[in-house]
Amino acid sequence: MGSTTGQIFRVTTWGESHGGGVGVVVDGCPARLPLSLKEIQADLDRRRPGQSRITTQRDETDEAHILSGVFEGKTLGTPISIFVWNKDTKPEDYRDIKNAFRPSHADYTYQAKYGIRNWMGGGRASARETVGRVAAGAIARKLLKVRAKIEIIAYVKRVQTIEASVNPSKVKRADVERNIVRCPDKATAEKMIRLIEKIRKGGDSAGGIVELVARNVPVGLGEPVFDKLEADLAKALMSLPASKGFEIGSGLAGTYMLGSEHNDPFVKRQGRIRTRSNRSGGVQGGISNGEDIILRVAFKPTATIMKPQQTVDAKGRKVTLAARGRHDPCVLPRAVPMVEAMVALVLADHLLRQTTQKG
**Nearest to residue 6, comparing CAs of 182, 139, 184?**
139
- Pick out the chain residues at pLDDT < 70: 1, 91, 323-326, 358-359
Q: What is residue 322's predicted lDDT score, i.e. its pLDDT?
A: 75
Q: What is residue 325's predicted lDDT score, i.e. its pLDDT?
A: 60
**Nearest to residue 126, comparing CAs of 152, 107, 140, 98?**
107
As a 3-state breakdown, the chain gives helix, strand, coil percent values, each rounded to 5, of 35, 25, 45
**Nearest to residue 335, comparing CAs of 29, 27, 51?**
51
| C-alpha of 292 from chain center | 19
First to last CA, the chain: 31
Contact 26, 138 (CB under 8 A): no
**Nearest to residue 34, comparing CAs of 139, 153, 148, 152?**
139
Domain count, the chain: 1
**Nearest to residue 143, comparing CAs of 28, 12, 265, 244?**
28
Give CA–CA dist 312/320, Å, rounded: 8
**Nearest to residue 182, comparing CAs of 345, 47, 7?**
47
Q: What is residue 231's predicted lDDT score, i.e. its pLDDT?
A: 98
Q: What is residue 140's predicted lDDT score, i.e. its pLDDT?
A: 98
CATH number at residue 94: 3.60.150.10
Give CA–CA dist 249/281, Å, rounded: 3
Q: What is residue 99's predicted lDDT score, i.e. its pLDDT?
A: 86
Residue numbers of the domain that contains 271: 4-358
Contact 243, 237 (CB under 8 A): yes
Can you give the length of the chain in residues?
Answer: 359
What burial class does residue 103 get, using C-beta atoms within 10 Å of its C-beta: 0-12 exposed, 13-18 middle, 19+ buried? Answer: middle
Backbone angles phi, psi at 56, to 5 degrees: -55, 145
* Residues 6 or more apart whose Cβ sits within 8 Å of residue 44: 62, 64, 84, 131, 134, 135, 138
DSSP states of 67-134: EESEETTEE-SSPEEEEEE--S--GGGGGGGTTB--TTSSHHHHHHHHS----STTGGGSGGGHHHHH
Burial 348-357 (b: 16+ CB within 10 A, else e): bbbbbbbeee
Burial 278-311 (b: 16+ CB within 10 A, else e): bbbbbbbebbbbbbbbbbbbbbbbbbbbbeebeb
Give CA–CA dist 285/309, Å, rounded: 46
What's the pTM value of the predicted model, to 2 decimals? Answer: 0.96
